Amino acid sequence: MLPPNFIDDVYRIVRSIPHGKVTSYGAIAKSLGVARSSRMVGWALNKSLHTVPAHRVVNRNGLLTGKAAFGNQNEMKNLLEQEGIEVQGDQIVNFQKYFWDPDSLGDV
DNA sequence: TGAGTGACTGTAA
DNA sequence: CTTACAGCCACTC
Residue pair A7/A45 in contact by the 8 Å Cβ criterion: no
pLDDT at A107: 58
CA gap A26, A28 in Å, rounded? 5
Whether residue A10 has pLDDT greater than 90: yes
Q: Rounded mean pLDDT of A71-89?
A: 92
CA gap A106, A97 in Å, rounded? 20
Q: Render pLDDT for A13-52 as a digit per residue (tens, 0 to 9).
A: 999 999 999 999 999 999 999 999 999 999 999 999 999 9
CA gap A28, A41 in Å, rounded? 7
Protein CA A15 to sugar C1' B5 (Å): 28
* Residues by Cβ under 7 A, strand C: A 1-2, 34, 36-40, 43
**Pairing assessment for the beta strands A23-24 and A57-58 based on DSSP bridges:** parallel
Protein CA A5 to sugar C1' C9 (Å): 15
pTM: 0.92
* pLDDT-based confidence at residue A89 (cuts at 50, 70, 90): confident
Other beta carbons less than 10 A from residue A41's beta carbon: 29
